[in-house]
Chain A
């Protein structure tokens, strides 16, 4: 597991649901085909309403000009991030677009679980709401040992909650690696 994650912030509001993260019409692409799966990066967060896309200004697309990668690799969210459907395409599309971490005040259960068990990125919980503290485009550093997020653009540092009981799965990589490490399933 990395000790430090650095990236540019993309800020969203509360209750970002999985239809905003990846609208259902795009759920037809293969997640395993190396070329076809790039479509998920292209359409990641494409369902977010314009005024909510890249706060505080809004109307900032997450990916541009049909690109399947985003320049934003740390998502800042509010409450109940990832609510709605169980589609694993939601954390997957964010990873395909290059997301390394999400920092939200709270998560919907299935999205959180999918992020951890699938090893797509690390879902951090912030000790307080950060959506007004960080602007889209700010440079951020997450220190995994100190459990902090520093906004290099403002110089302020914020506390993150401990990853708690899921840290073993995150450190292993995903649920399969964790199960192999603990002898639940035979090593490959």
Chain B
């Protein structure tokens, strides 16, 4: 019987020829990632269970990326980063990207890609639900808690229930003003915030394969917002170009079989997709941008693992160039590399950085920042009953810092267009003129 790409990767890591959805298997882990919020708890469980002097199963496979509460005066948050440093020292871990050094990266999911830890065919776990992002590289990746992460640290293994797969195929080409963010928000709106619970979300079709790695990451990043276990896209030349520039490590390209079984299959005509938002307070509360033009905004936020990649800022800058924002607009590059690219990438001879500064937007340091609220002094944190348009991934009550605020999730194009008008705006108005 045929297998999906997810089933094949899991089977290979369990030493099995064949697995089926529902099988509980123990898999060998290629990479374990943790960060400042979940690392300290993970390490204390690891020490409690395996001993104060226990060593991690494989130093080369552990990646530690502080990114959540990094630029804050919060003493507990800073203490947690100190705990990461201590553990890295004790264990002599080579892959640590410390705050306040040239080695600092920023948001873990993009840093994993940029530093060459995303490799086709691998199995990667992370103590963060958006670890599904790495699936864009044709690998299995998912989020776990501290306990499971501590188990992996000690054993290199973890149990996994093989998920059923759902296939989302997009044929043709997406319209110019439609981004991957619109596509994932549309799909979540269709199937609901628990529409993919326990399942793999596999993205297929020529429209998907025309996307950059950054846009593919956006599709896989928000699988968790539909409850999905993992998002996944088969690796192709675009993937391999990206990977080979960043690592010499081996990889293996898997494809789903033609006769693989899917729990669900839907084919979309890419050219019919439209810009959408998720209205407060749920990522599946979908509406077409054209239906929300009366919504007045207090601020726009462009950043996070979902919407803070270089392609997201190129899109935003395209609209903001030569114009002034009407509302407070926060720009937070996901990583240092993205921040450096804001100086290198130019539109009409002007760098993205200059475009943003001239537009009146505020620039923040690379990190998760206000995507998840965070300590009170977090850059861009929502207060009171602000209405925010944001390229982030969640708009549950209080997510960006204030229970009274209202967050509309949108693409970078839509967020930038809306920043220019002060109300939710279809980017097509700017792009097509």
Chain A contacts to B: CB under 8 angstroms: 15, 17, 19-20, 23-25, 27-32, 47-49, 79-80, 83-89, 91-92, 106, 108-110, 113-114, 117-118, 165, 174-176, 179, 184-185, 188
Partner pick for A47 among B41, B77, B143, B397, CB 8 A cutoff? B397
Contacts of B350 in A (CB 8 A): none
Beta-carbon contact of A110 and B143 below 8 Å: yes
Beta-carbon contact of A15 and B282 below 8 Å: yes
Beta-carbon contact of B41 and A88 below 8 Å: yes
Binary per-residue interface labels of chain B (384-417) against chain A in the complex, 1 for a CB within 8 Å, 0 otherwise: 0000000000101111010100000000000000
Among B58-79, those with CB < 8 Å from A are 68-69, 74, 76-77, 79
| Given A31-B146, A175-B147, A184 and B397 contact (CB-CB distance below 8 Å) | no
Q: B372 near A: Cβ within 8 Å? A: yes
Docked pose: A114 CA to B125 CA in angstroms: 14
Contacts A83-B193, A117-B145 supplied; 13 other A-B pairs, CB < 8 Å: A19-B373, A19-B396, A23-B373, A25-B401, A28-B77, A31-B41, A48-B397, A49-B398, A86-B143, A106-B197, A114-B145, A118-B146, A175-B151
Contacts of B74 in A (CB 8 A): 28
Number of interface residues of B (CB under 8 A): 53
Docked pose: A159 CA to B69 CA in angstroms: 43
Beta-carbon contact of B147 and A117 below 8 Å: yes
Chain B contacts to A: CB under 8 angstroms: 24, 26, 37-38, 40-41, 44-45, 48-49, 68-69, 74, 76-77, 79-80, 126-129, 131, 143-148, 151, 154-155, 157, 159, 193-194, 197-198, 224, 227, 229, 282, 372-376, 394, 396-399, 401, 403
Beta-carbon contact of A80 and B197 below 8 Å: yes
Contacts of B401 in A (CB 8 A): 25
Beta-carbon contact of A89 and B41 below 8 Å: yes
Closest A residue by C-beta to B226: A83
29 pairs of residues in contact across A and B, judged by CB atoms under 8 Å: A17-B394, A19-B373, A19-B394, A20-B398, A24-B399, A25-B374, A28-B69, A31-B146, A47-B398, A47-B403, A80-B197, A83-B227, A84-B224, A85-B129, A86-B38, A86-B144, A88-B127, A88-B146, A88-B147, A92-B41, A108-B194, A109-B198, A110-B143, A110-B224, A114-B147, A117-B151, A175-B159, A179-B151, A188-B49
Docked pose: A88 CA to B39 CA in angstroms: 11
Closest B residue by C-beta to A188: B49
Min CB distance, A116 to chain B, in Å?
9
Beta-carbon contact of A185 and B145 below 8 Å: no
Contacts of B229 in A (CB 8 A): 109
Min CB distance, A40 to chain B, in Å?
11
Contacts of B129 in A (CB 8 A): 84-86, 110
Contacts of A31 in B (CB 8 A): 40-41, 44, 146
Closest A residue by C-beta to B375: A25
Closest A residue by C-beta to B370: A24
Partner pick for B127 among A47, A86, A184, A188, CB 8 A cutoff? A86
| Given A25-B376, A86-B143, A108-B227, A17 and B49 contact (CB-CB distance below 8 Å) | no
Docked pose: A91 CA to B147 CA in angstroms: 11
Contacts of A87 in B (CB 8 A): 37-38, 145
Closest A residue by C-beta to B151: A175
Min CB distance, B334 to chain A, in Å?
17
Docked pose: A114 CA to B373 CA in angstroms: 23
Beta-carbon contact of A24 and B146 below 8 Å: no
Docked pose: A185 CA to B37 CA in angstroms: 27
Min CB distance, A41 to chain B, in Å?
16
